[in-house]
Structure 1
Amino acid sequence: MGRQNIEFKTSDGITLRGWFYSLDNTSNNKLPTLVLADGFTALKEMTLDFYAESFTSALPMNCLIYDHRGFGESDHMPGQPRGELVPNLQISDYSDAITYAATRSEVDPDKIGIWGTSYSGGHVLTVAAIERRVKVVLSQGPYRIGRMQGKEPTYVPIVHEDLFGSCALNGKDVYDFFMEWQKKSTRNNSITLKSVELFRAYEAQQLIEKISPTPLLLTVPTLDTLTPPDLSLAAYARAREPKELQLLPGGHFDSYAGETMRNNISTQIRFLEKWLVGRSETKKNGV
């Protein structure tokens, strides 16, 4: 298995950068491919490499990971600030990542899936509803929240040591997760207030009925305080077949570490084998 640094242009000319994971494919077969992006302000280094390595080690497939525009190694629109999260643009970037993947010689363009977590877990539900090129969708802990009134744009902390302090995301588990990663990555703890306004107005699951006939795996942490499980379960009930539900014991960030993460990946591997890769292809490649 190898990992390459990649970059590609979006439809509005922004360069996004990331990694492409592929097998040592001496037969030059075109393989199924999964496109992954991380959640709210998170970078590709924040466990996405572990997910991609797990998938490509277990199955004959590729993975494409990238940083969202304005974060990590990806560029941002000239004249706009870095650290600005606009849901519709991130959704469009997923489609451009699919287009880029389909041009690669290692990729079967008829077998491309998408994966998202938290904020991007909401994005992939929308992408799958409007993009018939998507053959499977995996969404874990998709974020959904009602609108609140915004203020004049400025920068605010993403998390705050005072659990009731002014920031984008409150809660001890949120603070601990992001601050731990801040110590070992290039991530910073600020975001534009406009991003927060858009974030809290975003209804990612409103098109979930339209995902079918694309297979959907929805992963719901049962003790999630950031994305209440009842909202995700209500959305899952509206989704049409084929669909699968995975209930994870623990909170929003438990799927990024330890035994919960390993169990989560195992379920996702089985889903990908069934709906994207195919068991016969797995046996043929001896994986």
Structure 2
Amino acid sequence: MSATSESPKYKEIKIPSATPLWNLDAWQYVPEGKGTSPCPVIVMAHGLSGNKTMGLKQYAEIYVQMGYACVLFDYRRWGASDGTPRQVVKVAEQLEDYRTVIKYCRQQPAFDPNRVVVWGTSFAGGHAVSIASEPQLNVFAAIGQCPYLGVTATPPFSWTLIKTATYAILDSLKLKVGLSPILVPACALPGEVGVMNAPDSKSGMFGIVENSPGAKYPNTINASSIFELQAYSPKDRAKNIQCPVLVVHCETDTLCLTPGADATAAASSHVEVVRFKDCGHFEIYPGAKFFDDDVKLHKEWLQKHVPV
């Protein structure tokens, strides 16, 4: 199934997650006419509050035309995957879901088990760095674009902050006793309650949706997800990275700040940081100003480090 007759086709698959009876919904691309040799495979997921319908297909189609297989998936509780309560962020689960899909890929005869590439954007870009730092997984390479690495802007003290914190505390308590979560906007305008309310957050996220035919985006997230973000710092794991990792950093990013990219690069000689000047967090996605430059970079880097 594909957007046009010229686009690479994908197969919808269900991958059992670590939670019994909860499947991960995934799209699997295999290059046509690849021959009998197994090909490298890129495991892909979206960032905070996003799902695979939001622009990931555009990247995957480019990689598949280069000869790479791709498996795009939604985390438990998100997108088309199983799991309740919905729209709840659990970092440990999301990392485990990456490991689950990597294991699945290594069991497929069409994929080279020794050349698995981990790909993530925004929050999932941090996951790509974290997964690359786990020596037992032995991934071949990783790409994190505009990744969340543990450094973000501190919101100013305001009534909005007080309300957001109150919702977060109540949500945390509700989840602990098995009640339904308190959902707030994932993206909001400055001054509004929301987990991401930088000036370009709402317009940027909905720009991704507008440039992704068929995208579905509820724009909701559990309020206590802010505590998950505060406790998560992929840059602190980077010292264990032993495979090539590309970090694409947007220099005017208001969500994922420069010190995170700097610290990640300083922690491991295997990390290469490429900086896009005058580029905001949402300006490297499909349809945006730096998308072509971003994809060109990915292609050159993959051809160098993971040749087909």
Q: TM range, normalised to the smaller chain? A: 0.7 to 0.9
> Which amino acid is the alignment partner of residue 75 of structure 1?
D
**Matched residue, 2:92:** 88
Greater mean deviation of Cα atoms: 44-53 or 145-154: 145-154
**Matched residue, 2:13:** 6
SS of corresponding position for 1:34: strand
The list of structure 1 runs, each at least 4 consecutive aligned residues, that deviate by more than 6 angstroms after superposition, is 146-149
The answer to whether the 8 A contact 2:246-2:274 is kept is yes
**Matched residue, 2:238:** 208
> Which amino acid is the alignment partner of residue 237 of structure 1?
A
Take 1:41 and 1:265, find their aligned partners in 2: how far apart are those partners? 23
**Matched residue, 2:146:** 141
Q: Encode CA deviations 1:181-211: one digit per residue, 9 max, x unaligned.
A: 5676322121112222212221122110101
Take 1:255 and 1:202, find their aligned partners in 2: how far apart are those partners? 24
**Matched residue, 1:28:** 36
Listed as ranges, the gaps of 5+ residues in structure 2 are 1-7, 156-164, 172-181
Take 1:26 and 1:225, find their aligned partners in 2: how far apart are those partners? 41
CA 1:26–1:179 in structure 2 vs 1: closer, same or farther (change >3 Å)?
Answer: closer
Deviation at 1:137, TM superposition (A): 0.7
> Which amino acid is the alignment partner of residue 215 of structure 1?
P
**Matched residue, 1:284:** none
1:124 and 2:128 matched: yes
The alignment's C-alpha RMSD in Å is 2.0
Q: Encode CA deviations 1:73-124: one digit per residue, 9 max, x unaligned.
A: 1111xxx410001011100110000011112221011111100111011111
The answer to whether the 8 A contact 2:53-2:216 is kept is no
Take 1:121 and 1:43, find their aligned partners in 2: how far apart are those partners? 14
SS of corresponding position for 1:109: strand
TM-score w.r.t. the length of structure 1 is 0.88
1:104 and 2:108 matched: yes
Listed as ranges, the gaps of 5+ residues in structure 1 are 282-287
SS of corresponding position for 1:89: helix
1:247 and 2:275 matched: yes
The answer to whether the 8 A contact 1:219-1:248 is kept is yes
Take 2:230 and 2:208, find their aligned partners in 1: how far apart are those partners? 24
Deviation at 1:262, TM superposition (A): 1.2
TM-score w.r.t. the length of structure 2 is 0.82
Take 2:107 and 2:290, find their aligned partners in 1: how far apart are those partners? 35
CA 1:26–1:274 in structure 2 vs 1: closer, same or farther (change >3 Å)?
Answer: closer
Q: How many residues align?
A: 271
Work out which of the residue numbers 225, 228, 234 in structure 1 matches 2:263: 234
Q: Encode CA deviations 1:242-278: one digit per residue, 9 max, x unaligned.
A: x3221123100111033411111111111111222x2
Take 1:262 and 1:193, find their aligned partners in 2: how far apart are those partners? 35
1:178 and 2:194 matched: no
> Which amino acid is the alignment partner of residue 185 of structure 2?
P
Deviation at 1:240, TM superposition (A): 2.2
- TM alignment of 1:151-162, pairs within 5 A: 151-153=169-171, 154-161=182-189
SS of corresponding position for 2:206: helix
The answer to whether the 8 A contact 1:182-1:188 is kept is no
**Matched residue, 1:115:** 119
Take 2:141 and 2:215, find their aligned partners in 1: how far apart are those partners? 30
Q: Encode CA deviations 1:144-166: one digit per residue, 9 max, x unaligned.
A: 247997511122111224x1111
SS of corresponding position for 1:151: helix
